[in-house]
């Protein structure tokens, strides 16, 4: 395949997109009345789900959407955590829905809902229910707090005067918060994962021996706000202590392990990522920095995202990475990580956000939802020695899709930031699927198995609390959250929360007057002191927090701007940056083996394509000109004993990871991004297509310092191009200069070795990297 062919192919494709855009204005172009039509359709769906819950699920936690009966906790089996973690018998769905009613502007429904809750769940929360601390915090505590803020802020549409609402939700937050605090009385100050609302931590020890970074750090968000609302710093102090301890568990590379013991300092999983078990750590740092105006939390986010970008980011997703060596591990993408593009958007990292969102679009198009865990390398049925095995199931490690909100959440953020119509189009398609695929007699049923298409008779509280809320807001340009200038932040459970100036100044005054002797209860004061002492004894050495890329100039690329300058003004005819991206279909080719439509979802039109475009697509004769692909590689697994070598080579694909990289302009050692792309300008016969600059002169391979790199007769002509350094993408014309003396060259024992050629280009396994020079 020649380069010319590639360019031609893309031009044709781009043309199709444009033709589709101009001649077929829908659904890429949206008028105000269309938007409001979709908005009303979402509203209708919401009430279908909510009324079904009220009729068939209430007063229990959920409704079975197909069977139309309540879904209750297993009262007789407290150890069944799969069922019981979020079902405390405290009307989870109702509480999680309060703020959606507020977002919809349904004042009567909102008031009815909170009063219904008032009359149902005991004020004492004295329930014999063992529940997850994290889930209870984000769904119950966050749900009640958001409702309280909506109800008491005269600017909102659902403001309830003092006659109608006496603030009982806040009092209940205190009761529940006090119960949850019991979880933090562990030797480390990290919370245990579960408590019993009546018996505290007097439960089966097996249920509380392990916790994860998301669960131990995130309650800071709700607890700190609770401290502000109650002017009692105990909640903040305790939760912030746990947040700090979680952050201290990070490795020297600033990567945070996912799971550990709240009783000792033992780390169970030296793996990091952005999905399950760790996702909302990052969310708490960034969103907390905004809600509380806290530069320290922002610096945690910055350091963490910097490390992720350096060690975990690849073209289309963030992969799981070992915390100690920064090598890739566990080749899967979690459904939960679909929230990350939204978080990146919030921080103005739009380019990354757009790319990472696209992968989830492809997953949705392929599987009709986002599989809980997609494995991007496993393709062969032989791995389990089972030739009869379902080929698809090999690439889907966990096969359910319970209508999680994260993909639509990111779609919402990206639309707000870019106003790119592509995201509205995604919303319309999801709306359509909710109407035609997921709507059940008594609510919405997700997918039990994306391979078979089997439905799941469950509607988690986040369907009404988050999924439909974000979808509604996507179409609701005029929502008060968008038009009024109060600075809300959505919690990880999508509850809008904000701190008004009055509250902020009251809290500041409180802090000043109690400084040094805050209202922290004696129990916790004593306890945190003990935990601090323990931390001092056992704390491993940590690299000081710094911004690894500092203010350098020259060929090293500048870090991204933190906050975006706001969406571009788009008026009239709407174009789409996503749809005109020449790499729009790269994912399809790159992951062709692990992204296959299961039979039940065959014929599903991919989100990025109109039916018209797809017709062109399928008619296109791919034999004449094979599908273009830039060979590029994911992941970076090397071997763990990296200290003995300079370079390791990826286990699955020839990706290289260079450990001792040092940019002479100030890049710090060991902050290296390791993604390399095959330079496709040369084909496998070594012929250069006429449309690109002349091919690499042969003496490029004439290596100066490594004899074994002699050119092979008729050998393949290849080169690598470094794509990113230190997590920062390199542009087409960027190059990087590396200090030669800091680079250890040559190691016959290693899988790979480095050298350089007459042009001073770095060679890896005798293959030159065209944009890295040694000096």
Q: Which residues are annotated as a binding site for Ca(2+)?
A: 492
Does 348 participate in binding ligand NAG (rule CB under 6 A)? no
205/194 Cα distance (integer angstroms): 10
Give 681-725 as a DSSP string.
TS-TT-PPPTTSSPPPPGGGG--SS-GGGPPPTTPPP--EEE-EE
What are the residue numbers of the active site? 135, 279, 372, 406
How many positions of this chain bind ligand NAG (CB under 6 A)? 21
- Nearest-approach distance from CB 245 to ligand NAG, in angstroms: 8
Per-residue x/- track, 165-204, ligand NAG (CB under 6 A)? -------------x--------------------------
- Binding segment (CB under 6 A) for ligand NAG, from list 80-88, 214-222, 461-469, 736-744: 736-744
The tokens 């131990």 sit on which residue? 216
Pairing of the two strands 736-738 and 767-774: parallel
- Binding segment (CB under 6 A) for ligand NAG, from list 130-138, 230-238, 327-335, 553-561: 230-238
- Residue closer to ligand NAG by CB (options 42, 220) is 220
Binding to ligand NAG in span 542-581, by CB under 6 A? 568-569
Binding residues: 492
Pairing of the two strands 447-449 and 676-678: unpaired
Does 664 participate in binding ligand NAG (rule CB under 6 A)? yes
CB 181 within 8 A of CB 521: no
Does 246 participate in binding ligand NAG (rule CB under 6 A)? no
Of 132, 232, 320, 721, which one interacts with ligand NAG (CB under 6 A)?
A: 232
Does 75 participate in binding ligand NAG (rule CB under 6 A)? yes
Q: Nearest Cα to 133, choosing from 73, 58, 201?
A: 201
Of 100, 234, 594, 601, which one interacts with ligand NAG (CB under 6 A)?
A: 234
- Binding segment (CB under 6 A) for ligand NAG, from list 203-211, 234-242, 417-425, 477-485: 234-242
CB 446 within 8 A of CB 388: no
- Nearest-approach distance from CB 240 to ligand NAG, in angstroms: 4
- Nearest-approach distance from CB 249 to ligand NAG, in angstroms: 14
Per residue, the 3-state secondary structure of 405-454, as one string, reads: CHHHHHHHHHHHHHCCHHHHHHHHHHHHHHHHHHEECCEECCEEECCCCE
Q: Nearest Cα to 50, choosing from 1, 124, 137, 110?
A: 110
Q: Which residues are CB-contacts of 769 (< 8 A; sequence separation ≥ 6)? A: 676, 719, 720, 721, 722, 761, 762, 763
454/66 Cα distance (integer angstroms): 12
249/213 Cα distance (integer angstroms): 9
Per-residue x/- track, 82-101, ligand NAG (CB under 6 A)? -------x------------
- Residue closer to ligand NAG by CB (options 120, 626) is 120
Does 621 participate in binding ligand NAG (rule CB under 6 A)? no
Does 131 participate in binding ligand NAG (rule CB under 6 A)? no
Does 521 participate in binding ligand NAG (rule CB under 6 A)? yes
- Binding segment (CB under 6 A) for ligand NAG, from list 31-39, 237-245, 384-392, 744-752: 237-245
- In angstroms and rounded to an integer, the radius of gyration of the C-alpha atoms of the chain is 27
Q: Nearest Cα to 491, choosing from 114, 107, 99?
A: 99
Of 739, 747, 760, 765, which one interacts with ligand NAG (CB under 6 A)?
A: 739
Does 526 participate in binding ligand NAG (rule CB under 6 A)? no
DSSP SS3 for 68:
coil
Q: Which residues are CB-contacts of 522 (< 8 A; sequence separation ≥ 6)? A: none
CB 187 within 8 A of CB 263: yes
Residues that bind ligand NAG (CB under 6 A): 59, 75, 89, 120, 127, 178, 232, 234, 237, 240-241, 244, 296, 519, 521, 568-569, 664, 739, 741-742
């Amino acid at each position: 395949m020649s380069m010319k062919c590639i360019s031609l192919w893309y031009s044709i494709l781009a043309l199709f997109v444009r033709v589709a855009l101009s001649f077929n204005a829908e659904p890429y172009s949206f008028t105000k009345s269309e938007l409001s039509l979709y908005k009303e359709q979402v509203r209708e769906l919401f009430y279908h789900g909510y009324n079904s819950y009220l009729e068939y699920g209430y007063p229990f936690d959920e409704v079975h959407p197909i069977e139309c009966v309540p879904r209750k906790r297993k009262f007789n089996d407290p150890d069944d955590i799969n069922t019981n973690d979020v079902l405390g018998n405290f009307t989870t769905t109702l509480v999680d829905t309060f703020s959606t009613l507020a977002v919809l502007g349904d004042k009567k429904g909102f008031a009815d809902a909170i009063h219904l809750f008032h009359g149902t769940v005991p004020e004492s929360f004295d329930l014999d229910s063992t529940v997850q601390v994290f889930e209870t915090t984000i769904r119950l505590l966050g749900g009640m707090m958001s409702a309280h803020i909506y109800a008491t802020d005269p600017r909102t549409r659902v403001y309830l005067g003092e006659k109608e609402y006496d603030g009982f939700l806040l009092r209940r937050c205190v009761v529940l918060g006090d119960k949850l605090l019991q979880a933090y009385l562990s030797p480390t100050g990290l919370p245990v994962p579960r408590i019993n609302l009546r018996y505290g931590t007097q439960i089966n020890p097996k249920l509380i021996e392990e916790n994860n970074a998301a669960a131990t750090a995130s309650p800071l968000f709700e607890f700190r706000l609770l401290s502000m609302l109650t002017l009692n710093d105990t909640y903040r102090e305790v939760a912030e202590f746990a947040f700090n301890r979680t952050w201290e568990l990070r490795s020297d590379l600033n990567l945070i392990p996912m799971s550990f013991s709240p009783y000792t300092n033992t780390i169970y999983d030296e793996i990091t990522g952005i999905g399950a078990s760790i996702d909302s750590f990052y969310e708490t740092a960034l969103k907390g920095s905004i809600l509380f105006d806290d530069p320290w939390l922002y610096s945690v986010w910055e350091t963490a995202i910097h490390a992720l970008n350096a060690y975990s980011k690849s073209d289309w997703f963030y992969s799981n990475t070992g915390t100690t060596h920064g090598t890739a591990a566990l080749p899967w993408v979690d459904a939960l990580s679909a929230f990350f593009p939204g978080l990146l958007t919030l921080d103005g990292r739009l380019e990354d956000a757009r790319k990472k969102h696209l992968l989830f679009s492809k997953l949705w198009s392929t599987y009709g939802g986002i599989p809980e865990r997609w494995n991007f390398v496993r393709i062969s049925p032989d791995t389990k020695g089972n030739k009869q095995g379902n080929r698809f199931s090999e690439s889907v490690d966990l096969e359910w899709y319970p209508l999680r909100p994260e993909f639509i959440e990111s779609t919402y953020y990206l639309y707000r930031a870019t106003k790119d119509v592509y995201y509205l189009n995604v919303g319309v398609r999801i709306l359509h699927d909710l109407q035609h695929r997921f709507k059940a007699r008594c609510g919405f049923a997700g997918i039990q198995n994306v391979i078979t298409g089997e439905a799941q008779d469950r509607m988690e509280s986040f369907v009404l609390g988050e999924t439909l809320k974000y979808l509604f807001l996507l179409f609701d340009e005029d929502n008060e959250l968008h038009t009024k200038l109060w600075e809300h932040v959505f919690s990880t459970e999508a509850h809008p929360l904000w701190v008004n100036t009055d509250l902020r100044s009251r809290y500041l005054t409180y802090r000043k007057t109690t400084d040094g002797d805050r209202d922290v209860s004696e129990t916790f004061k004593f306890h945190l002191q003990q935990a601090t002492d323990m931390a001092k004894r056992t704390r491993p050495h940590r690299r000081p927090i710094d911004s690894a890329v500092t203010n350098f100039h020259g060929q090293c690329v500048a870090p991204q701007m933190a906050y975006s300058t706001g969406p571009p003004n788009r008026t009239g005819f709407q174009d789409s940056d996503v749809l005109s991206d020449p790499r729009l279909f790269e994912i399809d080719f790159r992951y062709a083996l692990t992204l296959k439509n299961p039979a039940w979802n065959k014929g599903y039109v991919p989100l990025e394509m109109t039916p018209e475009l797809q017709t062109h697509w399928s008619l296109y004769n791919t034999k004449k000109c094979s599908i273009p692909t830039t060979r590029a590689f994911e992941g970076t697994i090397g071997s763990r004993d990296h200290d003995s070598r300079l370079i390791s080579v990826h286990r699955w694909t020839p990706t290289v990871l260079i450990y001792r990289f040092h940019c002479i302009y100030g890049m710090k050692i060991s902050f290296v991004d390791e993604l390399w792309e095959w330079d496709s300008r040369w084909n496998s016969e070594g012929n250069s297509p006429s449309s690109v600059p002349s091919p690499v002169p042969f003496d490029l391979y004439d290596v100066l310092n490594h004899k074994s790199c002699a050119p092979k007769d008729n050998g393949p002509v290849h080169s690598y191009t470094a794509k990113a350094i230190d997590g920062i993408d390199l542009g087409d014309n960027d190059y990087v200069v590396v200090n030669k003396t800091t680079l250890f060259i040559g190691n016959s024992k290693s899988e790979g070795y480095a050298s350089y050629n007459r042009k001073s280009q770095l060679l890896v396994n005798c293959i030159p990297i065209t944009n890295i020079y040694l000096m």
